Amino acid sequence: MTMADTPKESELAGMQYALQLYQEKYESINTSMTRLMDEISSLRGVDSALSRLPGSAGKGAMINTGMGFMVGARVDEVSKAVVAIGGGILAEKSISEAKVIAADRIKARDEALKRLMNERKELERMIYELSYRIQESTA
Confidence check: pLDDT of 100 > 60? yes
pTM across the whole model: 0.80
Instruction: Determine the Cα–Cα distance for residues 124 and 135; give it in Å rounded to an integer.
Output: 16
The pLDDT, as a whole number, for residue 51 is: 86
**Which candidate, 1, 10, 7, 19, places its Cα nearest to that of 133?**
19
Residue 137, C-beta contacts closer than 8 angstroms, at least 6 positions apart: 8, 11, 12, 15
The pLDDT, as a whole number, for residue 98 is: 94
The C-alpha R_g of the chain, in whole angstroms, comes to 25
In the beta sheet, which residues pair with residue 83? 91
pLDDT tens profile 28-43: 999 999 999 999 999 9
Chain-centroid distance, C-alpha 80: 28
Task: State which CATH number among 1.10.1060.10, 1.10.287.370, 3.40.50.620, 1.25.40.10 fits the domain covering 7-138.
Answer: 1.10.287.370
Q: Are 102 and 43 in contact (CB under 8 A)?
A: yes
Would you list the domain boundaries of the chain?
7-138
Dump strand ranges (E) for 15-59: none
Q: Span 36-60, mean pLDDT?
A: 86
What distances in angstroms separate CA 19 from CA 4, 10, 16, 42, one per listed residue?
17, 14, 5, 35
In the beta sheet, which residues pair with residue 98? none
Mean pLDDT, the chain, whole residue set: 90
Instruction: Determine the Cα–Cα distance for residues 131 and 15; give it in Å rounded to an integer.
Output: 8
